[in-house]
Amino acid sequence: MKKILLFADPGIDDSIAIIYALLNPEIEVVGIVSSYGNVDKKQATENVAYLLELANKTDIPIIGGTTRPFSGEIPTFYPEIHGPEGLGPIVPPENIAGELLNFTEIFNIIDQNPGLTIVDVGRNTSLATAVILSDDLSEKVKEFYIMGGAFLVPGNVTPYAEANFYGDPVASSLVFDSLKNITVIPLNVSNNSIVTKQHVATIQESTQNPLIDILDEVMDYYINAYKKLIPGLVGAPLHDVVTLSLLANPDMGRFIYRDVQIQQTGKTKGVSIADLRVKPEDTDKNVRIYLELDYPLFLEDFIRVMSTKIPTE
């Protein structure tokens, strides 16, 4: 069982990652930090609160993260991919707000949960803020899983950069320079985590619960958005879900250990760099970078977890 504190910016693939984590018996979510990214922080928070309500898990704390990158720039949001409210066509009911806890609650959660994994599937501003506010995060947290980057493959938000690192490259740099025990899941892997409407239908035929009932509407929006971006693509990549799936199934892909750097400015802003030449691994010092995914195993895991029946009380 992995206990996780999840940093997210839901967003469609973040939302499905939250659903996956809540349904996976191998994962216990001990808190969710909601921040700007795909949508603004307020919307991200409402979406987290809505999903926790659907899951009947309102006891999971929601912590207020950051509203913009360290540069102070007004962030760009992505309604064309994630929908105006971040959940495709779905608008969370107005009475859903959720109690938003102060950022410092992160440190209480870390203290109360030895062996904790932090998973960041959004811009890295909130995690970098936690790094700045603490001098022993790497000692207290067992491992960090980060969705971001693109190593010698095209980016998704620019020709060269992936969206999470591009969104706040100063924060991403700080995180990679400061923390040990980082596993990164870049586009090299996440672009291949394609889920289709047929997969969604299979899941919905095998189970019924409020979290899964919204899956077709949300995924239809996301798949149609990706079809416009990448003509001919059947389905859409679930970047944030595959990050959690690899956490639960570390052997489901191939990885190497390398130092990682993030470019800060100019045309290569947000670009992730590592020396990918064949050489001896330095597992003590370096970041674990996933470069390949066993797609059939991922699909099997995704469909199995999403088809999990919620025990009725």
Q: Segment contacting Ca ion (CB under 5 A): 6-14, 125-133, 149-157, 210-218?
A: 6-14
| Closest CB 155 distance from Ca ion, rounded Å | 15
Q: Which of 2, 5, 14, 288 binds Ca ion (CB under 5 A)?
A: 14
119 makes contact with Ca ion (CB under 5 A): no
| Closest CB 14 distance from Ca ion, rounded Å | 4
Q: Which of 49, 60, 121, 150 binds Ca ion (CB under 5 A)?
A: 121
DSSP per residue, 72-140? -PPPP--HHHH-TTSSTT----TT---PEEPTTHHHHHHHHSTT-EEEE-S-SHHHHHHHHH-S-HHHH
- Tell me which residue of 292, 4, 261, 252 sits closest to 121, measured CA to CA: 4
Amino acid making up residue 13 = D
- Tell me which residue of 46, 149, 59 sits closest to 94, measured CA to CA: 46
H helix or E strand, kind and range, residue 14: helix 12-23
Positions in 10-39 near ligand RIB (CB under 6 A): 11, 13-14, 37-38
Residue pair 165/268 in contact by the 8 Å Cβ criterion: no
Residue pair 86/10 in contact by the 8 Å Cβ criterion: yes
Q: What distances in angstroms separate CA 247 from CA 70, 120, 164, 172, one per listed residue?
A: 28, 12, 19, 20
Q: Segment contacting ligand RIB (CB under 6 A): 9-17, 53-61, 124-132, 300-308?
A: 9-17
> Nearer Cβ to ligand RIB, position 143 or 162?
162
Residue 111's contacts (CB-CB under 8 Å, 6 or more residues apart) are 140
147-186 mask for ligand RIB (x: CB under 6 A)? x--------x-----xxx----------------------
> Nearer Cβ to ligand RIB, position 109 or 163?
163
Positions in 98-157 near ligand RIB (CB under 6 A): 121, 147, 156
Q: What is the dihedral of CA 10, 63, 71, 81, to 10 degrees?
A: 0
Q: Measured between alpha carbons, how far is 247 from 74 in angstroms, rounded to an integer? A: 32
Annotate 200-260 with three-state secondary structure. Answer: HHHHHHHCCCHHHHCHHHHHHHHHHHHHHHCCCCCCEECHHHHHHHHHHCHHHEEEEEECC
The count of residues interacting with ligand RIB (CB under 6 A) is 13
Q: Segment contacting Ca ion (CB under 5 A): 2-10, 70-78, 128-136, 302-310?
A: 2-10
> Nearer Cβ to ligand RIB, position 78 or 255?
78
> Nearer Cβ to ligand RIB, position 8 or 305?
8
Residue pair 261/165 in contact by the 8 Å Cβ criterion: no
224-253 mask for ligand RIB (x: CB under 6 A)? ---------------xx-------------
Q: Measured between alpha carbons, how far is 228 from 238 in angstroms, rounded to an integer? A: 16
Q: Which of 122, 155, 186, 253 binds Ca ion (CB under 5 A)?
A: 122
227-266 mask for Ca ion (x: CB under 5 A)? -------------x--------------------------
- Chain residues in the site for Ca ion (CB under 5 A): 9, 11, 14, 121-122, 240
For binding to ligand RIB (CB under 6 A), which residues are involved?
11, 13-14, 37-38, 121, 147, 156, 162-164, 239-240
